[in-house]
Amino acid sequence: MTLDAVLTRIDIDLPASLDRLLDLLRIPSISTDPAYKADCDRAADWLVADLAGLGFTASKRPTSGHPMVVAHIGDAGPHLMFYGHYDVQPVDPVDLWTRDPFAPQIEETAKAKVIRGRGAADDKGQLMTFLEACRAWKATHGALPGRITVFLEGEEESGSPSLIPFLKDNADELKADIALICDTGLFADRVPAIVTRLRGLLGEEITIEGPTKDLHSGMYGGVAMNPIRVLTRILASLHDDDGRVTIPGFYDGVPEIPDTLKAAWDGLNFDHCAFLGDVGLSHLAGEAGRTALEQIWSRPTCEINGIEGGYTGDGFKTVLPSKAHAKVSFRLVGQQDPHAIRESFRTMVQSMLPADCTASFTPHGASPAGQMDTSGPAFEKARQALSEEWGVDAAYTGCGGSIPIAGYFKTYLDMDAMLIGFGRDDDQIHSPNEKYDVECFHKGTRSWARILAALT
């Protein structure tokens, strides 16, 4: 059978595939640091050359920041777009690495054989799983199936400043039937997942101001209003005793998940005790009566990320401060409108201010949640393909974090996306000693071959 031949080829070619990945990992394409601009360019060149070698019409496309890589192949059949990013996070603190982050190597650890180096999992190792699947397919059949567009970004780790303009300017060229995004993880060590829900993110910074200057609490204490007292009262009122957010209208547009999905999530047997135990906790702190997965994947949150005010140095100072600040963020789901929530939050804060105090606000981002429509046949075919490779039922999962790219594809290209990745929780992405398991790389590559066969 044709797919079997491709899978066999992937198995045989694994050592060479790993060598190619190590080669790409040696390029320090840190997008956020201007000192590595030429390296980002070099990584883009490397990928263009590799894609051209596979028969793609590949080009490096300039932006005001780091270049995009765009490649096309095929002219008939279903059109798939693959997205990954070739830039990586900075490596500091570098002394916590057990090896030079850009001298990657295959290491044998107690748990697994791993590819160690910056970008191994996020995202070079992941993007190469798709390219290696294409390579094996081409070697076996002489041509790739359907139409494939590969779109690789070099600014994902630095806020993607060029992405939206690029999508707008090149919408016709980039739009495909569906996008495949490889920048996420397995659900559990051996359970593959298609992420179909992503939470949105809204940030607000509040400053409460009272007296015109810091005061002595012996002289003014009790008489003058303390901005920290005002701020903490407001922050403490953001949740009720059941863990629900009290901002008026906050739950507008928050849907209940269907019973079938809830049952599927319950079937994943997520161990919240272990999940919390890893960080020294034992009790769910979110909305009462909701499971951990519901709380992370399908419910909105309000978190206080930082508080500042008054004297926080060594010793003691009886100051009554003139100002107090807090940073508050919200993870959003369903159809929650970030702008409406921002307004409602500000109105609530204003309504709680006592005489002599004012509040000012600084906004930080406002992206709505994303939810894929899984009713089309592509999702189920891809899920089956993943299930066959991993030998367990692949799951439709959510992601507590916010991955804006899927939303951008929907907004600017009117294209749904499947987020399929093979990372594991202990990959230490963004941290020292990042790794990607050889098994994930290998089975990830095989997974893409199966998905290509299923979707084309």
> Closest separation between CB of residue 183 and Zn ion, Å?
4
Element (H, E) at 387: helix 377-390
> Closest separation between CB of residue 118 and Zn ion, Å?
12
> Closest separation between CB of residue 381 and Zn ion, Å?
25
In 395-445, DSSP assigns E strands to 395-399, 417-420, 435-437
Cβ closer to Zn ion: 123 or 209? 123
The stretch among 88-96, 120-128, 320-328, 362-370 that binds Zn ion (CB under 5 A) is: 120-128
Cβ closer to Zn ion: 183 or 287? 183
Using rule CB under 5 A, residue 183 touches Zn ion? yes
**What one-character-per-residue DSSP string does 299-310 give?**
--EEEEEEEEES
| Interatomic CA distance for residues 308 and 228, integer angstroms | 9
Cβ closer to Zn ion: 50 or 123? 123
Report the first-to-last Cα separation within the chain, whole angstroms: 16
* Contact status, residue 154 vs residue 68, Cβ threshold 8 Å: yes
The stretch among 39-47, 113-121, 176-184, 296-304 that binds Zn ion (CB under 5 A) is: 176-184
Cβ closer to Zn ion: 181 or 369? 181
Other C-beta atoms lying within 10 Å of the C-beta of residue 305: 11
Q: How many residues bind Zn ion (CB under 5 A)?
A: 3
> Closest separation between CB of residue 152 and Zn ion, Å?
12
- SS3 at position 13: helix
Cβ closer to Zn ion: 40 or 231? 40
The stretch among 123-131, 207-215, 274-282, 446-454 that binds Zn ion (CB under 5 A) is: 123-131
Other C-beta atoms lying within 10 Å of the C-beta of residue 110: 4
Instruction: Using only the alpha carbons of the chain, give its radius of gyration.
Output: 25
Residues 345-384 that bind Zn ion (CB under 5 A): none
> Closest separation between CB of residue 423 and Zn ion, Å?
9
Cis amide leading into 93 (omega within 30): yes
Nearest to residue 207, comparing CAs of 335, 332, 362?
A: 362
> Closest separation between CB of residue 189 and Zn ion, Å?
20
> Closest separation between CB of residue 29 and Zn ion, Å?
12
> Closest separation between CB of residue 173 and Zn ion, Å?
23
**What one-character-per-residue DSSP string does 317-382 give?**
--EE-SEEEEEEEEEE-TT--HHHHHHHHHHHHHHTPPTT-EEEEEEEEEE--EE--TTSHHHHHH
Cβ closer to Zn ion: 126 or 295? 126
The stretch among 74-82, 177-185, 349-357, 444-452 that binds Zn ion (CB under 5 A) is: 177-185
Q: State which of residues 50, 122, 294, 416 lies at the interface with Zn ion (CB under 5 A).
A: 122
The stretch among 72-80, 119-127, 270-278, 393-401 that binds Zn ion (CB under 5 A) is: 119-127
> Closest separation between CB of residue 122 and Zn ion, Å?
4
Using rule CB under 5 A, residue 132 touches Zn ion? no
Task: Look at phi and psi of residue 69 and say left if phi exceeds 0, alpha if psi is from -120 to 50, else beta.
Answer: beta
> Closest separation between CB of residue 114 and Zn ion, Å?
18
Find the DSSP H helices in 203-316: 217-220, 227-236, 259-267, 272-277, 292-297
> Closest separation between CB of residue 422 and Zn ion, Å?
13
User: CB under 8 Å to 357, separation ≥6 — which residues?
Assistant: 208, 209, 210, 225, 227, 230
User: CB under 8 Å to 13, separation ≥6 — which residues?
Assistant: 132, 135, 136, 139
Cβ closer to Zn ion: 65 or 300? 65
Q: State which of residues 123, 155, 287, 294 lies at the interface with Zn ion (CB under 5 A).
A: 123
The stretch among 116-124, 190-198, 257-265, 280-288 that binds Zn ion (CB under 5 A) is: 116-124
Cβ closer to Zn ion: 183 or 416? 183
| Interatomic CA distance for residues 353 and 367, integer angstroms | 28
User: CB under 8 Å to 352, separation ≥6 — which residues?
Assistant: 230, 233, 234, 237
The stretch among 2-10, 181-189, 319-327, 414-422 that binds Zn ion (CB under 5 A) is: 181-189
Cβ closer to Zn ion: 120 or 369? 120
Q: What are phi and psi of 419, to 5 degrees?
A: -95, 110
Cβ closer to Zn ion: 102 or 436? 436
Q: Which 8-state DSSP code applies to residue 257? A: P
Site residues for Zn ion per CB under 5 A: 122-123, 183
